[in-house]
Amino acid sequence: MSEENVEMLRRGFEAFNRGDREGMVADFASTFEYIATGAIPGSTGVFQGPEGWQRFLGWFWDEFDDARVVLHRLTEAGELVLAELTLQGRGRRSGAEARWDLWQLWTFREGKVVKAQGFTKRLDALEAAGLAE
């Protein structure tokens, strides 16, 4: 099942890069929750359900041209997948390039994405996943 989880997550990131908001959450459970890092302005707290995730990322599509996720690595750990990524775009008003290097720990159950948590430090994400050395 873990390879299926990796592929499910990869499809979600690909949908994000196409601007496909529905495709991005196609494999989310209705009870999904995302715990934000707070690194992105105005994005603290817990976002509930697929609509919460869409709301969390919606501002990014609104504020940035060429909003993209650059996926560096997906590492499976049982029901968990650690995503190492860069969120980037060009400000619509300023034209300035913005980028955030983030780590996200995604939890899967019964073929659905049920939870994710963002981290600003790789070591914190590895420890949460039980992958720290």
Alpha helices in the chain (DSSP H): 2-18, 21-24, 49-63, 122-129
What is the tally of structural domains in the chain? 1
3-class SS of residue 19: coil
Q: How far is CA 92 from the centre of its chain?
A: 22
Over 60: is that where the pLDDT of 14 sits?
yes
Alpha carbon distance 28, 49 (integer Å): 8
CATH number (domain holding residue 68): 3.10.450.50
Taking a C-beta distance cutoff of 8 angstroms, is the pair 112, 47 a contact? no
Taking residue 41's Cβ as centre, other Cβ atoms within 10 Å add up to 9
Range of the domain at 33: 2-129
CA Rg value for the chain: 14
Q: Hey, what are 96's tokens?
A: 């300035």
Record the pTM.
0.91
* Tens-digit pLDDT profile for residues 45-82: 899 999 999 888 887 888 888 899 999 999 998 899 99
Percent of residues, the chain, with pLDDT higher than 90 = 73
